[in-house]
């Protein structure tokens, strides 16, 4: 991770923000559907929890499924093109 000289990354805070990022719920939609994914995001937001906690509470995915589907590091990479123009 790169910073301006003299600054340090607060890795704890960065991880906390990543876990609470509601936009990551989009990774669940293909597997469980938009409505359930939206319900997870609403629950996490309302209860001020993580998406993982909300998803497990609602029972829409297991812990292993969530960890496999929601991988913020993999989501940083560009998607491959599915068709040529």
Q: Is residue 35 part of a domain?
A: yes
At residue 58, the pLDDT reads: 97
Q: Is residue 59 part of a domain?
A: yes
Q: Is residue 36 part of a domain?
A: yes
Which helix (DSSP H) or strand (DSSP E) does residue 31 occupy?
helix 29-32
pLDDT tens for each residue of 29-78: 999 999 999 999 999 999 999 999 999 999 999 999 999 999 887 777 67
CATH number reported for the structural domain that contains residue 70 in this entry:
1.10.40.30
Q: Print the domain residue range for 27.
A: 11-74
For 14, counting Cβ atoms within 10 Å of its Cβ (0-12 exposed, 13-18 middle, 19+ buried), the class is: exposed
Q: Is residue 4 part of a domain?
A: no
Q: Is residue 3 part of a domain?
A: no
Domain tally, the chain? 1
Q: Is residue 2 part of a domain?
A: no
pTM for this model (two decimals): 0.74
């Amino acid at each position: 991770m790169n910073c301006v000289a003299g600054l340090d990354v607060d890795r704890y805070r960065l991880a906390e923000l990543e876990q609470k990022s509601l936009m990551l719920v989009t990774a669940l939609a293909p597997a469980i559907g938009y409505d359930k994914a939206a319900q997870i995001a609403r629950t996490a937001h309302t209860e001020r929890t993580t998406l993982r906690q909300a998803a497990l509470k609602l029972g829409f995915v297991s812990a292993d499924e969530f960890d496999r589907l929601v991988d913020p590091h993999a989501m940083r990479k560009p998607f491959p093109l599915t068709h040529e123009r």
